[in-house]
Each structure stands twice: as structure tokens, then as C-alpha cells.
């Protein structure tokens, strides 16, 4: 699997780049299977135009590398530092014309280490990688389905614990506990539990606010399974809510469902955004839908494709993304409903089965 992915990357590199250097994160995971986070210890995966693979790796991470599909490790101890490993790589690579790097994730610390090599130019390889990662293979989809199962089961287990006087942080903690119990490797972003007036904050991370009767609660959270993300939002009510809030909920639900029904190969990202936005605008709340309709999901919580205005990207089979319209009224409330979708050969698959009818606790 990883060898095949690297072959696709190499086919894009051969005309323009001698090597690609990846730093810890989703791209390194995608092409090598090595799942690490950036730290003070320098770590690189190097893919050559001949599809040779090298790792510069601290000794403490050696047990995480699988070399069954080939590869060379240039390791170093904490006492040695990475300089000798970089010099060994320099000897292996010789004089290079162009090195491909990830402009959006590489740090100055890592770039300075690359400067020890002999080369003429640095070029951004990010666009090519984003294009490759947009279309998910069968193994990726299997992991994503499992991640979705984790979030749905965890939300179902958490909802009965939401009562008057419980804090948002307590709800978030329960959610994260339930996800861990079911195999989540962590959370891809800070769990959002935003009740009442705080629901108007699209990124309202859980706070010490106590939940009150008659409030909407926006719950936006995610799980990670084998590195792959599920990202789910549901808005629930604690007790009866006003007719105005019920109407807002109905509009968001309608916008979510209409955009999803339009998903198929050949549709553009911006057209889906327009469908949802028009429904909310016609309902009188156009100024209160303040973000894009959705974002890609996979090894990252946010990746290509982005469903938003002025994005003419044509959707293709295998692309995975969220659909999450919302309405946010300052100092009053917010509503968001989010599903995870896959483009199929003749339409879409909604990975989520959790009800979108208003749940009143």
C-alpha cells in the first residue's frame, strides 16, 4: 500500500524534483506508515525520484519503523544529535537540483537542517500530495467507517449524562472517555461543547459554563482510528426550546440534507456550498452562516477538498468531506449539523447514521 502511494508521488516528482523530504505528520504517515508528531528531535522521511526511501530518525523511535517494504534508516542518539545523520544523507544524495518540501508544515528548525545538503532549489510538494490524498482507497474508507462508529456510539452513550447544572467540560470529558473506551487514539481537535449563548461561537471549546434548561448544546467532536478521523456535530436541546430556535434548527437540517442529496461526481465544491447557503439565506439567516459548508477529512481533521464559495474543484469518486451548515446568533444560540460523506461512482455514501431530528433531552 505505502509502496504504491510512493510510486504515485514519484511519478509527479520525476520531472521536477530529485527528492521529497517529509516531516512527521499526516503526509509522512500516508507515504511510509510512520505515525509521529513533530518534536524537538529531528525526523525526516526522504523519497527519491527512483523511489528509494530513507529515514533520519532518533533512536527512541526506531521500533516504530517497518522496513519490510524497503528503506534505509540513518539514526542518531540524543547525545549525538542529527548532524552526522544529515551528513550521511548528504553523501548518499550527492548534488541535487531540487528538493521538494512541505511549505505549510515544515518548520525553520527543519529547513535549517536541510540547508546542510547540497542543492539548488527548494520547491513545494504540498499541492501534489494534497491531490493524491483527496481520493481515499478502500483501506482508508474502512478506517474512517470505524472512526465514525466510535463517535456515534460515544455520543449515544454521553447524551443521557447531560443534565441541568452539568458543565460543558464534564460533557466533553465524558465524550472523550467514551471514545477512548471504543478505541479512539485521541481527538483530532479540542472537543466543542457550546451551550446556550456560547453556541454562537463556531469554535466554542468546552468551558466551565453550566448547561441550563431551554438551551441548545452544540457538540462537535472527533475520533481517530488507525490515524483516520471522524468529525461529527449534533445540536441537541435540554428541555423545551423556543419556536425561533426550533425554526433555526429546521433550516440548518434542511440545508444539510439538500447539500448532501446533490453530491455526485462532476458536482463542484462551490455548488454544494451554494445550495446550503441559499436555503439559510431564504430563511432569513444568511448573515449568520459565517463559515464554509465543509472540509475534507482523512488523516487530517481539515484537508482538501474544501466546500466553499469560489472553489470550482470538481468532485470525484473517493473524495471524503464534511457537510456542516450552521447558524450562529450572537448572545443567543447556535446550531450546526455535520455529517461525513464519501463521493461514490454515482452519488454519495453518508458514513453517519445518527439521527438529525432534534433531540430533546
CATH entry, 135-350, from 3.40.1280.10, 3.40.50.620, 3.30.420.40, 3.90.230.10:
3.90.230.10
Q: Taking a C-beta distance cutoff of 8 angstroms, is the pair 260, 349 a contact?
A: no
Residues 6+ apart with CB under 8 A from 86: 42, 56, 113, 116, 117
Task: List b or e across 2-25, with b for residues whose CB sees 16 or more CB atoms inside 10 angstroms.
Answer: beebbeebbebbeeebbbbbbbbb
In sign, the C-alpha dihedral spanning 184, 155, 196, 293 is: positive
Nearest CA among 167, 206, 201 for reference residue 189: 206
Q: Strands of 320-323's sheet, edge to edge? A: 303-307, 294-296, 320-323, 339-343, 348-350
Cell numbers placing 290: 459565517
CATH topology of domain 2-132: Creatine Amidinohydrolase; Chain A, domain 1 (3.40.350)
pLDDT confidence of residue 295: 98
Per-residue model confidence (pLDDT) at position 221? 98
Question: Would you say 303 and 130 are in contact if contact means Cβ atoms under 8 Å apart?
Answer: yes
pTM value is: 0.94
Domain ranges of the chain: 2-132, 135-350
pLDDT (tens digit per residue) in 62-117: 999 988 767 999 999 999 999 999 999 999 999 999 999 999 999 999 999 999 99
pLDDT digit string, tens, across residues 120-130: 999 999 999 99
Complete DSSP assignment for 113-138: HHTTSEEEEEEE-HHHHHHHHHB--H
Mean pLDDT per 10-residue section of the chain, whose length is 361 residues: 93 89 97 94 96 96 85 96 97 96 95 96 95 96 98 98 98 98 98 98 97 98 98 98 97 98 98 98 98 98 97 98 98 98 98 98 97
Query: Do 2-132 and 135-350 show the same overall fold?
Result: no
At 355, phi and psi to the nearest 5?
-55, 145
Residue 192 CA, distance from chain mean position: 15
Residue 116 near residue 308, CB atoms below 8 Å: no
CB atoms within 10 A of CB 75: 18
Furthest C-alpha separation in the chain: 71
CA dist 188 and 168 (Å) reads 18
Give the per-residue pLDDT at 15: 75
Amino acid at each position: 500500500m505505502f509502496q504504491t502511494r510512493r510510486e504515485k508521488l514519484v511519478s509527479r516528482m520525476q520531472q521536477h524534483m530529485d527528492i521529497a523530504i517529509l516531516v512527521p505528520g499526516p503526509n509522512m504517515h500516508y507515504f511510509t506508515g510512520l505515525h509521529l508528531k513533530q518534536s524537538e528531535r529531528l525526523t525526516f522521511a526522504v523519497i527519491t525520484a527512483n523511489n528509494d526511501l530513507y529515514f533520519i530518525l532518533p533512536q527512541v523511535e526506531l521500533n516504530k519503523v517497518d522496513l519490510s517494504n524497503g528503506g534505509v534508516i540513518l539514526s542518531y542518539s540524543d547525545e549525538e544529535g542529527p548532524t552526522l545523520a544529515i551528513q550521511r544523507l548528504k553523501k548518499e544524495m550527492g548534488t541535487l537540483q531540487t528538493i521538494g518540501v512541505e511549505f505549510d508544515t515544515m518548520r525553520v528548525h527543519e529547513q535549517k537542517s536541510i540547508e546542510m545538503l547540497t542543492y539548488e532549489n527548494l520547491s513545494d510538494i504540498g499541492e501534489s500530495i494534497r491531490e493524491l490524498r483527496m481520493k481515499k482507497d478502500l483501506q482508508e474508507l474502512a478506517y474512517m467507517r470505524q472512526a465514525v462508529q466510535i463517535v456515534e456510539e460515544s455520543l449515544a452513550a454521553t447524551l443521557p449524562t447531560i443534565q441541568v447544572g452539568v458543565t460543558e467540560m464534564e460533557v466533553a470529558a465524558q465524550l472523550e472517555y467514551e471514545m477512548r473506551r471504543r478505541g479512539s487514539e485521541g481527538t483530532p481537535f479540542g472537543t466543542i461543547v457550546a451551550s446556550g449563548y456560547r453556541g454562537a461561537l463556531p469554535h466554542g471549546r468546552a468551558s466551565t459554563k453550566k448547561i441550563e434548561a431551554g438551551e441548545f448544546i452544540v457538540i462537535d467532536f472527533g475520533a481517530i482510528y488507525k490515524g483516520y478521523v471522524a468529525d461529527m456535530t449534533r445540536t441537541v436541546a435540554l428541555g423545551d426550546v423556543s419556536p425561533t430556535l426550533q425554526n433555526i434548527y429546521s433550516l440548518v437540517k434542511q440545508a444539510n440534507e439538500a447539500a448532501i442529496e446533490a453530491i455526485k461526481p462532476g458536482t463542484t465544491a462551490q455548488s454544494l456550498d451554494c445550495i446550503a447557503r441559499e436555503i439559510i439565506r431564504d430563511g432569513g439567516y444568511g448573515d449568520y452562516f459565517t463559515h464554509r459548508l465543509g472540509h475534507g477529512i482523512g488523516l487530517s481533521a481539515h484537508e482538501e477538498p474544501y466546500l466553499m464559495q469560489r472553489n470550482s474543484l470538481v468532485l470525484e469518486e473517493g473524495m471524503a468531506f464534511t457537510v456542516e451548515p450552521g447558524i450562529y446568533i450572537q448572545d443567543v444560540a447556535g446550531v450546526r449539523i455535520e455529517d461525513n460523506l464519501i463521493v461514490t461512482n454515482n452519488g454519495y455514501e453518508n458514513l453517519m447514521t445518527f439521527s438529525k431530528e432534534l433531540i430533546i433531552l
